[in-house]
Amino acid sequence: MASVTFNQFSAKTSKVFDQLVRKTLIDLDRKLDERSPVGDASYWKKPAPAGYVGGRFRGNWQYGYGSRPVGELDVTDKTGSATTAKIKAGIEAAPSIGVHFLTNNLPYAQRIEKGWSRQAPLPHGVVGLAVLDFEGIVSRVAVEVSK
């Protein structure tokens, strides 16, 4: 009888852990996306290049499981909806146990984090604010998935 109870507990715990990891990653990605600046040439000192469309930084968030994605994407995503949908699909397809990566490999990503964009607040930047939010995200998600 005790082994049945333990097996039930183990199965429930595994399911809750899986949901906690996935929802936390999805919410963290959403925070990164929401805070990612989208270029607005009206504020620039020089005119934008012909055909410029903002959203390259937002469109270059990438998800990886087991290894960090490398390289840049030739994507612009002004709203971030396509990028977050792609990342969510990757998170849902990957195992929950392991190392997960959310990264932006554009050469100017570090500059944005350090205040290059007036849309990315100093002193924490896009990723720094997400890190500060992490504990709150996990706590909120834990309450949601334990119901």
User: Per residue, what are the HEC states of 19-36?
Assistant: HHHHHHHHHHHHHHHHHC
- Residue that wins the pLDDT comparison between 12 and 47: 47
Residues 44, 45, 48, 49, CA torsion sign = negative
Split at pLDDT 50, 70, 90, the class of 40 is confident
Euclidean distance between CA atoms 53 and 40, whole angstroms: 9
| DSSP states of 19-86 | HHHHHHHHHHHHHHHHHS----GGG-SSPPPTT--S-HHHHTEEEEESS---S------SSSHHHHHH
Q: Is the pLDDT of residue 119 over 90?
A: no
Q: Is the pLDDT of residue 1 over 60?
A: no
Residues 7, 13, 17, 19, CA torsion sign = positive
Split at pLDDT 50, 70, 90, the class of 2 is low
Q: What is the residue-averaged pLDDT of the chain?
A: 90
Q: Is the pLDDT of residue 53 over 90?
A: no
Q: Is the pLDDT of residue 55 over 90?
A: yes
Tell me: the pLDDT tens digits for 68-99?
999 999 999 999 999 999 999 999 999 999 99
Q: What per-residue confidence (pLDDT) applies to 121?
A: 65
pTM above 0.95, yes or no: no
Q: Where are the domains of the chain?
A: 17-145
116-143 average pLDDT score: 86
Euclidean distance between CA atoms 66 and 59, whole angstroms: 21
What are residue 73's phi and psi, to 5 degrees?
A: -105, 145
Are β-strands 61-65 and 100-104 bridged in parallel, bridged antiparallel, or unpaired?
A: antiparallel
